[in-house]
Amino acid sequence: MKFPIRFRFWVAQRSSAAISAPSLPALAAAGQRHGKSARRLFHAFILTAAVFLFMGAGDDTARFKDLGHRMMCTCGCGQVLLECNHVGCQSSEKMRNQLQAALDKGGSNSDDLILQGFVQEYGPTVIAAPTATGFNRVAWIMPFAALALGIAFVVYVVRSWKNRPEPALADGITIPRGSELDEFRRKARKETDL
């Protein structure tokens, strides 16, 4: 597993900062202990996310499998390159051989360079998913933007509903609250054993 050097440095810096911060006596209050553990949790989360983001296939077999699943077969079957199962399919066999040859070169032939080579030869539709460049970034951003907007909308709806005035009740009916409601709940649980 390889991380970019800049990223490793950043993680190291952030981790040491997180360790040294609580030594200041003025910041020893209980609230800040919560802050510290929250920050550690945050760092752990970032680190975990980074592990998965920057994780790369190590050996050539894994790289072959990985890259072969990031490209489409160009025979028109609409399948991922390594899943095209047409016997004698000229396209997939040729492409697999090209991919293996590119991997055998090793050295400076990075995954991106290999994919670029395929794009030049077969056109942009050979890549099975939009790249993270230019307008294609929109493809990746939109679903998460929709999720974020959706969450914001739901939170807004929930808050506005909570602040809505109570519906009017018929005379003589009161809604139990606080300890009275808890008493009802206790009785209900006792009677149903739930």
Partner 1 sequence: MSTIGSFALIAALALSGYCFLAGLLALFLSKHPASVAIGETARRAGIATFAAVLLAGIVLVVAAFNNDFSIAYIFHHSNRDLPAAYKFAVLWSGQEGSLLFWSLLLAGYGFVLRLRYKTDQRLFAYASVIIASVQVFFLLILNCAAYPFATMQGALPQDGAGLNPLLQYPEMVIHPPLLYLGYVGFTVPFAFALGALIMKYPGEKWIHITRRWTMVTWCFLTIGVFLGAHWAYAVLGWGGYWGWDPVENASLMPWLTGTAFLHSVMMQEKRGMLKVWNMSLIFATFLLSMLGTFLTRSGVISSVHAFAQSSIGAWFLVFIVLTLGVCTFFLVANRSYLKSEHKLESLVSRESSFLFNNLLLLVVCFTILWGTFFPILSEFVQGHKVTVGPPFFNRVAVPVALLLLLLTAVGPLLAWRKTSLESLKRNFLFPAVGSLAIGVMMIVFGVRPWEDPSFFYATMAAVLSALVIFTVISEFLRGGRVIAGKSHQNLLSAMIHLCHRNTRRYGGYIVHFGVALVVIGILGTPFNKEVEKEMSFGDKISICPYTLVCQSYTQDDNLNYANEWAIINVFRGGKQITTMYPERRFYKASGQPQTLPRIYPSFREDFFLVSDLYLVYEGRNETTGQPIIKAHVNPLVPWIWIGLIVMVFGTIVALVPNAAAVQIAATTPVRVPAHVGAGD
- Closest by CA to 132, choosing from 70, 74, 76, is 70
Neighbouring residues of 129: CB distance < 8 A, sequence distance ≥ 6: 70, 139
CA dist 121 and 92 (Å) reads 14
Residue from 17, 44, 132, 158 touching partner 1 (CB under 8 A): that is 158
**Least gap, CB of 153 to partner 1 (angstroms):** 8
Q: Is 108 in the site for partner 1 (CB under 8 A)?
A: no
Q: Which of residues 15-44 bind partner 1 (CB under 8 A)?
A: none
Residue 165 buriedness (CB in 10 A; 0-12 / 13-18 / 19+): exposed
**Least gap, CB of 176 to partner 1 (angstroms):** 5
Closer to partner 1 at the Cβ: 70 or 114? Answer: 70
Angle at the Cα of 37 from the Cα atoms of 31 and 39, rounded to 5 degrees: 100
Residue from 63, 64, 84, 118 touching partner 1 (CB under 8 A): that is 84
CA dist 124 and 130 (Å) reads 9
Contacting residues toward partner 1, per CB under 8 A: 51-52, 55, 69-70, 72, 77-80, 83-85, 87-88, 123-131, 134-136, 139-140, 142-144, 146-147, 150-151, 153-154, 157-158, 161-162, 164-167, 169, 173, 175-176, 181, 184-185, 192-194
